[in-house]
Amino acid sequence: MADILRAVKGMNDILPASVPRTEKLPDSALWSWFEATVREVLARYGYQYIVTPIVEPTALFVRGLGEVTDIVEKEMYSFTDSMNGDQLTLRPEATAGIVRAMVEHNALYNGPLRLWTIGPMFRHERPQKGRYRQFHQLDVEALGFPGPDVDAEMILMVRALWAALGLEVGRDVRLELNSLGQPAERLAHRTALIAHFEAHAAQLDEDARRRLHSNPLRILDSKNPAMQALIEAAPRLADFLGAESLAHFDALRAVLDAAGLAYRINPRLVRGMDYYNLTVFEWVTDQLGSQGTVCGGGRYDGLFEQLGGKPAPAVGFGLGIERLLLLLQELKVARPSAAPQAYAVLPSAAALPRAMALLEQLRERGIAVQMHAGGGGMKAQFKRADASGARYALIFGDDELARGEVALKDLRDASAAQLALPLAGVADWAARLRTA
């Protein structure tokens, strides 16, 4: 017998809840409910769906994310196309690909766009709880809007998503903000950072020494406990921001304050990509250990030009789906049941043609009905009916059909009397089942 082939380490199957799992991963019903909730919330704000390729030119991410970033240096799945020698990469994030598509198709010609996508991303890193080599991301972008009004709207939209998912801001998730200013301000800050860290070179770890002259801002994001005092004493970017950058940040905060959204200004929040400017934000939680960030993003006004397009302002965020769904599971957040409203029990194969015709009529009226298939006795069928989570069983027995009826049994209330419903009254059945 051949060896069983298994999924690549860090790349997981998303399975129905009825399939036993050894790992704590979200089930497909929770995943489906999350996607439906996302679609409903984003539609309220006028966002449109977009799909881009999973494979992109490697140069897109090198140019867009920055050569001296963890993603480009360590984490990308890159390869040479055996057909033509092209350097290709499985996308590690979605923003660069969306901007590439906008530039390639001149998509902002008729004005700004609000877009979103959802799908798999790939990073070669050590798998752990909430951090996988293939992970899925909700990515939302507002393209062509220069002001802090859209930054604020996007953050408030995430708050609306939390509410729709049953998460409470302040208790389950909290917002952190910072401003990275504009490139010239960051350059002045960069010079001051280099001078500060050079003066304490003996305290730098290997990663910090490597980044000192290429990307010193990323040193501020170090999690090395031995360097935290040095990082805390480093020059703060806020002290280098000019009047326009401060006004942008103040206007954003004014909207959030008026909307009653609490936040913390985190001067060390820099995000992991080089393309950000002005607003950056993260939604974080204390419920998932070290993997505390569940959503993050900010403004990236220079990326269009960086990728060969006309300059265009932009702001967006990414949300890790696996990590968020783990949070929902940890908090035992209530969600709609994925169970059918009814389960059809067919004691005799002779009942199948008539029963299936009636079940189709129910489904046309919006009723979720799972039909028993594969034969088996009444006891086995009722066991399956109970396991399905359905409230009712519809029993298409020979005696019932001979009388022009179907039996309706309440699977969740043993004291409820079994009812006989006329076969001609499918509309009435649907009304009864709809209120279950």
- What pairing do the DSSP bridges indicate for beta strands 392-395 and 342-345? parallel
Q: What is the mean pLDDT of each run of 10 residues along the chain (436 residues)?
A: 85 85 81 95 97 94 75 84 91 94 95 97 81 92 96 97 95 94 88 90 88 82 86 89 95 97 90 80 87 89 91 95 91 83 89 89 92 88 90 90 90 88 86 76
pLDDT confidence of residue 417: 87
- In the block, tokens 């950058």 appear at 245
pLDDT confidence of residue 290: 66
- Helix and strand element counts for the chain (H, E): 15, 16
Contact predicate 122/90, CB 8 Å: yes
Contact predicate 221/231, CB 8 Å: no
pLDDT confidence of residue 166: 94
Contacts of 36 (CB under 8 A, 6+ apart): none
Quick one: residue 182, left, alpha or beta (phi over 0 = left, psi -120 to 50 = alpha)?
beta
- Amino acid found at 79: F
Distance, CA of 94 to CA of 76 (rounded, Å): 13
| DSSP letters for 90-156 | E-S-SHHHHHHHHHHTTTTTTS-EEEEEEEEEE--S--BTTB-SEEEEEEEEEES--SHHHHHHHHH
- Count CB neighbours of 436 within 10 A: 13
Helix (H) or strand (E) holding 70: helix 70-70
CATH number belonging to domain 28-181+241-330 = 3.30.930.10
Given CA atoms 251, 253, 256, 258 in this order, what sign does their dihedral have? negative
Residue whose C-alpha is closest to residue 321's, from 113, 1, 34: 34
Contact predicate 117/94, CB 8 Å: yes
| DSSP letters for 284-297 | E-STTTT--EEEEE
pLDDT confidence of residue 317: 96
pLDDT confidence of residue 148: 96
* DSSP single-letter state for residue 359: H
pLDDT confidence of residue 68: 61
pTM: 0.86
CATH of 342-434, one of 3.40.50.960, 3.40.50.920, 3.90.600.10, 3.40.50.800: 3.40.50.800
pLDDT confidence of residue 348: 85
Rounded to the nearest 5°, which phi and psi values hold at 19? Answer: -90, 125
- In the block, tokens 């399905």 appear at 388
Helix (H) or strand (E) holding 426: helix 426-434
Q: What residue segments make up the domains of the chain, in order of their start?
A: 28-181+241-330, 342-434
Is 267 exposed, middle or buried (CB count within 10 Å of its CB: 0-12, 13-18, 19+)? middle
SS3 content of the chain, % helix, strand, coil (to 5): 40, 20, 40
Q: Can you tell me whether residue 412 is helix, strand or coil?
A: coil
- Long-range Cβ contact pairs of 45-48 (< 8 A, separation 24 or more): 45/114, 45/153, 45/157, 45/160, 46/114, 47/114, 47/115, 47/116, 47/140, 48/113, 48/114, 48/115, 48/116
- In the block, tokens 């798998």 appear at 127
Quick one: residue 430, left, alpha or beta (phi over 0 = left, psi -120 to 50 = alpha)?
alpha
pLDDT confidence of residue 319: 96
